[in-house]
Amino acid sequence: MKDRIVSAEVLVCSPTRNFVTLKVVTADGVVGYGDATLNGRELSVASYLRDHVAPLLIGRDPSRIEDTWQYLYRGVYWRRGPVTMAAIGAVDVALWDIKGKTLGQPVYQLLGGAVRDRILSYTHATGWDTAELLDSINAKRAIGFQAVRAQSGVPGLDSVYGVHRGAQGYEPAGRGAYPVEETWDTDAYLNHVPGVLAAVRDHVGPELKILHDAHHRLTPQQAARLGKSVEDLDLYWLEDLTPAEDQNALRLVRQHTTTPLAIGEVFNTIWDCHHLISENLIDFIRVAIVHAGGISHVRKIFALAEVHQVRGGPHGPSDVSPITLGASVHLGMATPNFGIQEFMGYDPLVDEVFPHAWSFDDGYLTPGEQPGIGVEMNEELASLYPYEPAYLPVARRRDGSMTDW
């Protein structure tokens, strides 16, 4: 007899930061986990799942992954958007996890099997000044990374995206009832950052892959100027140069520079990026498995990208759970045009709450051979860390007007 879903439960926990997890259980006792974390808006996805999706899952055949995706996407009328798509993403990953466990296979095998032995990954290096940034890069290289995202402070600004405060590693979300307000000055940033990236290239030599994230803060003209000014540094990519809503913004940038462009961590569907991909306006598409509808949908985005020589470079910050990272690594193993996986790393407590078969070694990630996604949840430990309100910062220009964070 066909197995049936008998429960779908939403687990919200905050082991150093908030995570939303969907736990799906079948009549045969198979448990699948999906990540539904949407940084700073966690409870909205928890409610969407708990109040509107979980009841519809009960009694469904868990093997019908694509049909369930279509049911939750097309069956709602109100399509797309980060909340809806993170909820669908969580269901999708939980069902792939169940399928893998039911068939006794790691998910990458079900996606067609390995096309590579391991997944190249990059991590974040950060410093308030160039000397500190170079130390941070040295430390990341010492643990094996061959690709590093370099972010530095900007003279005259007290907080800058991607740069840590105090002794802790960088974590953009801050606990508390209100978002932190930061002051941002794009001119100061543009005057400073090309010199920093040049110093980084000079320090590391030609081999290390260097990436940089402008976090949606530039106009197309400013972005084109930045791309041009760092062209000789042979960056692996410049990320999120312009706000991501405007799919035409990168055309001007493209016309002026050969620096590779990456975008898409805030995209939810293939409809957010099909133009960028099919018009060859980007080199890397950065959708996260959780925020773009799960493995089933991101697989389609990557397939479209393959036609246009665009590579996958999924988002992998600390705010997507180890379940999403595992799902991303499985998909990467089976995707010919996969480029690189962001791997910010997790607090040891997060690794303990989500014990995982995936592992990092010598700059590469591998999914492990555990059936399913290979990430479980220590629910008892998680329950000791209840949800805490936390927000990403907001940014204002020097004149007080709001700008993109």
Chain contacts with Co ion (rule: CB under 5 A): 213, 265
Q: Identify whether 71 is a catalytic site residue.
A: no
Q: Does 97 bind ligand EZ4 (CB under 6 A)?
A: no
List C-alpha distances in Å: 346 to 172, 343, 350: 13, 9, 6
Q: Does 272 bind ligand EZ4 (CB under 6 A)?
A: no
Q: Does 222 bind ligand EZ4 (CB under 6 A)?
A: no
Q: Does 265 bind ligand EZ4 (CB under 6 A)?
A: yes
Of the pair 99, 164, the CB lying nearest ligand EZ4 is at: 164
User: What phi-psi label fits residue 124: left (phi over 0), alpha (psi between -120 and 50 degrees) or beta?
Assistant: beta
Q: Hunting for tokens 């480029």 — which residue is that? A: 339
Active-site residue, selected from the candidate residues 164, 215, 291, 330:
215
Q: Does 39 bind ligand EZ4 (CB under 6 A)?
A: yes
Q: Does 34 bind ligand EZ4 (CB under 6 A)?
A: no
Q: How many CB atoms lie within 10 A of CB 131?
A: 12
Length of the chain: 405
Q: Are strands 147-152 and 209-213 parallel, antiparallel or unpaired?
A: parallel
240 vs 263: CA distance, rounded Å: 5
Q: Identify whether 77 is a catalytic site residue.
A: no
- What mask of x and - would describe binding to ligand EZ4 in positions 328 to 367, judged by CB under 6 A? --------------x-------------------------
**Residue 170: CB minimum distance to ligand EZ4, A:** 8
Of the pair 66, 246, the CB lying nearest ligand EZ4 is at: 246
Q: Does 188 bind ligand EZ4 (CB under 6 A)?
A: no
| Interface with ligand EZ4 in residues 314-333 (CB under 6 A) | 315, 317, 319
Q: Does 374 bind ligand EZ4 (CB under 6 A)?
A: no
Count of residues of this chain found to bind ligand EZ4 when the rule CB under 6 A is applied: 10
Q: CB-based contacts of 389: which residues, under 8 Å, 6+ apart?
A: 175, 176, 177
Of the pair 185, 213, the CB lying nearest ligand EZ4 is at: 213
Q: Does 31 bind ligand EZ4 (CB under 6 A)?
A: no
Q: Which residue is nearest to Co ion (CB)?
A: 213
Q: Does 103 bind ligand EZ4 (CB under 6 A)?
A: no
Question: Which of 89, 100, 127, 172 contacts ligand EZ4 by CB under 6 A?
Answer: 172
**Residue 385: CB minimum distance to ligand EZ4, A:** 19
Chosen from Co ion, ligand EZ4, none, partner binding at 172 (C-beta under 5 to 8 Å by type): ligand EZ4
Of the pair 217, 330, the CB lying nearest Co ion is at: 217
Judged by CB under 6 A, the stretch of 60-68, 291-299, 313-321, 327-335 that binds ligand EZ4 is 313-321
Of the pair 238, 365, the CB lying nearest Co ion is at: 238
Chosen from ligand EZ4, Co ion, none, partner binding at 103 (C-beta under 5 to 8 Å by type): none
Of the pair 5, 288, the CB lying nearest Co ion is at: 288
**Residue 214: CB minimum distance to Co ion, A:** 9
Q: Does 213 bind ligand EZ4 (CB under 6 A)?
A: yes
Catalytic residues, which ones? Answer: 161, 215
- Using CB under 6 A, list all residues that contact ligand EZ4: 39, 172, 213, 215, 265, 315, 317, 319, 342, 392
